């Protein structure tokens, strides 16, 4: 992080007590920190200790004329390479989501054109409240990267999600942002979402894939420093920021895009590609017959993108497929790995009762040539992080 400049906003949560450690580790890695302490943040850590560790003046007041004379708030907000809010309380998240600017921290956040990362920290019920979830979603749509929060015991004695991410985790995300992570210099290709296969100009064949797992994986790979090419069908979930997005509609377009993006160090195929397309899509809308006879649709098989890339002359070092199964998950996925010629298969059970397809959680079995390893059920974002780390380990 040599000489990278981080504007660190410390808002008021008990997790602020982890900040001295975070600042110490960031500066040890060469980052330059400009701390901003909110009024409530100052209830948990003192400006003096933060200034000493960051070796910088601590900014607190919006209308401090001396500060404005030295460096105006606009300049302060833009001079950094990254704005990091840790801990980020429910309150500061709500203000950010609304675009409020009623103190120095929120004014800087509104004025900045620098990427922003936040590490939320709050009571489990506050995190799970629909308002906070709405704010979190809105902030992600606005391009804010969210670190954590984690499950765990809270200072208030409750247990659940809301604990600020650990210092190591925040460091990994910041390092990844500066392309300093274990996948720095690596190119990873990810396919995601469903494909739409036209029947005629207004109708198409599709499936229920939301693109959530592929999007989470692309973000996790980006966070470890990879250059990510993200080839996505029409997904419900918006693509992550900071990756190269290549939107496609059909399987054939996906294949062309993927082949055009090779070489890559690794390729992960999370897309739910339609196995069939219309043999001859109609140029005009199919009309109802006066006889009442339904139209006969002729299908043709789509190219298997995963199998093609596995056998490609520019085959990536690591090729990972997904297997959506409804029965005999491990057996089917094990034979799928061999049939498709990929290195790993990430298998999951997509029977509707599991709620996996289109849902927020996933339970996967990772299959490689050594055998099968089943992971506990966890949020798709955690599956993505763990898988991204495995990919990083395999490539190094
Ligand atoms: N896949 C692909 N191109 C296709 C079909 C599938 O790249 N035309 C990839 C998917 O992205 C996934 C893997 O292959 O990584 C497995 O897809 P799946 O639909 O589960 O398997 P199928 O090949 O369709 O096999 P089956 O229909 O027997 O389940």
CATH topology of domain 187-395: Rossmann fold (3.40.50)
Pairing relation of β-strands 159-163 and 187-192? Answer: unpaired
The domain ranges of the chain are 5-177, 187-395
Q: Is 344 in the pocket of ligand 1 (CB under 6 A)?
A: no
Compute the distance between CA of residue 345 and CA of residue 365 in angstroms, rounded to an integer: 8
Q: Which of 152-161, 205-214, 247-256, 284-293 has the highest mean pLDDT?
A: 247-256
pLDDT band at 51 (very low <50, low <70, confident <90, very high): very high
Fold equal for 5-177 and 187-395: yes
Query: In this structure, what token pair is assigned to residue 287?
Result: 């009309």
User: Can you give the pLDDT at residue 238?
Assistant: 86
- Check residue 194 and report its DSSP letter: B
Mean pLDDT computed over every residue of the chain: 91
Compute the distance between CA of residue 229 and CA of residue 211 in angstroms, rounded to an integer: 15
Compute the distance between CA of residue 148 and CA of residue 119 in angstroms, rounded to an integer: 6
Compute the distance between CA of residue 24 and CA of residue 184 in angstroms, rounded to an integer: 23
Compute the distance between CA of residue 35 and CA of residue 188 in angstroms, rounded to an integer: 34
Terminal-to-terminal C-alpha distance of the chain: 20
Burial class (CB in 10 A: 0-12, 13-18, 19+), 341: middle
Count other Cβ atoms within 10 Å, centred on residue 155: 12
Share of the chain above pLDDT 70, in %: 97
Ligand 1 centroid, distance to 319 Cα (angstroms): 13
Rounded to 5 degrees, φ, ψ at 52 are -65, -45
Which candidate, 174, 191, 271, 190, places its Cα nearest to that of 227? 190
Q: Note the pLDDT tens digit of each residue in 73-114.
A: 788 888 899 999 999 999 999 999 999 999 999 999 999 988
Among protein residues, the one with the nearest Cα to ligand 1's atom 16 is 323
Which candidate, 13, 63, 6, places its Cα nearest to that of 36? 6
Catalytic residue (choose from 17, 28, 74, 156): 156
The mean pLDDT of 238-245, rounded to a whole number, is 81
Q: Which of 65-69, 216-220, 266-270, 279-283 has the highest mean pLDDT?
A: 266-270
Helix axes 212-223, 380-395, angle to 10 degrees: 50
Ligand 1 centroid, distance to 216 Cα (angstroms): 19
Q: Name the region of 144 (left: φ>0; alpha: ψ -120 to 50; beta: rest).
A: beta
User: Can you give the pLDDT at residue 15?
Assistant: 94
Q: Is 217 in the pocket of ligand 1 (CB under 6 A)?
A: no
**Concatenated DSSP letters of 325-387:** ESSSHHHHHHHHHHHHT-SEEEEEE--GGG--TTSSEE-EEEEETTEEEEPPPEEHHHHHHHH
Is 70 exceeded by the pLDDT of residue 195? Answer: yes
Counting ligand 1 atoms within 8 A of each CB, the residue from 205, 253, 323 with the most, and so the one to mutate, is: 323
> What number does the ligand 1 atom closest to the CA of 345 have?
15
pLDDT band at 46 (very low <50, low <70, confident <90, very high): very high
342 is a catalytic site residue = no
User: Can you give the pLDDT at residue 155?
Assistant: 75
Ligand 1 centroid, distance to 272 Cα (angstroms): 7
Pairing relation of β-strands 344-349 and 266-269? Answer: unpaired
> What number does the ligand 1 atom closest to the CA of 324 have?
20
Counting ligand 1 atoms within 8 A of each CB, the residue from 336, 337, 351 with the most, and so the one to mutate, is: 336
From residue 206, give the alpha-carbon distance in Å to each of 198, 275, 286, 382.
Answer: 9, 10, 18, 27
Is 80 exceeded by the pLDDT of residue 62? Answer: no
CATH of domain 5-177: 3.40.50.1950
Answer whether 98's CB lies under 8 Å from 110's CB. Answer: no
User: Can you give the pLDDT at residue 68?
Assistant: 58
Answer whether 80's CB lies under 8 Å from 34's CB. Answer: yes
Q: Note the pLDDT tens digit of each residue in 313-354.
A: 999 999 999 998 989 999 999 999 999 999 999 998 888 888
Pick the residue with more confidence: 146 or 308? 308
- Check residue 183 and report its DSSP letter: T
**SS3 at position 300:** strand
User: Can you give the pLDDT at residue 14?
Assistant: 92
Q: Is 306 in the pocket of ligand 1 (CB under 6 A)?
A: yes
**SS3 at position 286:** coil
Q: Note the pLDDT tens digit of each residue in 368-378.
A: 999 999 999 98
């Amino acid at each position: 992080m040599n000489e990278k400049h981080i504007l660190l906003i410390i808002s008021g949560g008990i997790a602020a007590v982890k900040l001295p450690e975070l600042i110490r580790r960031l500066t040890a890695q060469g980052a330059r920190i400009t701390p901003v302490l909110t009024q409530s943040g100052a209830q948990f850590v003192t400006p003096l200790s933060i200034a000493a560790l960051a070796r910088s003046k601590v900014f607190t007041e919006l209308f401090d004329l001396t500060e404005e004379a030295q460096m105006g708030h606009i300049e302060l907000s833009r001079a950094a390479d990254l704005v990091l809010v840790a801990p980020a309380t429910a309150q500061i998240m709500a203000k950010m989501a609304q675009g409020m600017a009623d103190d120095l921290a929120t004014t800087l956040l509104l004025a900045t054109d620098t990427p922003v990362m936040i590490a939320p920290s709050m009571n489990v019920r506050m995190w799970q409240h629909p308002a906070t979830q709405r704010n979190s979603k809105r902030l992600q749509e606005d391009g804010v990267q969210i670190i954590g929060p984690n499950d765990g015991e809270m200072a208030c004695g409750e247990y659940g999600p809301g604990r600020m991410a650990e210092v190591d985790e925040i460091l990994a995300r910041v390092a990844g942002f500066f392309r300093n992570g274990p996948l720095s210099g690596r190119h990873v290709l990810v396919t995601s979402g469903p494909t739409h296969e036209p029947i005629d100009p207004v109708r198409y064949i599709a499936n229920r894939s939301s693109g959530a797992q592929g999007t989470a994986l692309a973000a996790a790979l980006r966070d470890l420093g990879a250059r990510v090419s993200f080839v996505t069908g029409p997904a419900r979930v918006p693509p992550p920021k900071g990756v190269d997005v290549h939107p496609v509609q059909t399987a054939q377009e996906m294949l062309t895009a993927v082949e055009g993006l090779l070489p890559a160090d690794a390729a992960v195929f999370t897309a739910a590609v339609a196995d069939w397309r219309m043999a001859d899509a109609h140029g005009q809308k199919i009309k109802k017959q006066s006889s009442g006879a339904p139209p006969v649709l002729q299908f043709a098989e789509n190219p298997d993108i995963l199998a093609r890339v596995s056998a490609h002359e520019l085959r990536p070092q690591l090729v990972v497929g997904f297997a959506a199964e409804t029965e005999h998950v491990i057996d089917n996925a094990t034979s799928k790995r061999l049939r498709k010629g990929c290195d790993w298969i990430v298998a999951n059970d997509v029977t509707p009762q599991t709620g996996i397809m289109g849902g927020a959680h996933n339970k996967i079995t990772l299959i490689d040539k050594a055998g099968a390893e089943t992971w506990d059920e966890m949020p798709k974002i955690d599956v993505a992080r763990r898988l991204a780390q495995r990919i990083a380990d395999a490539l190094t």
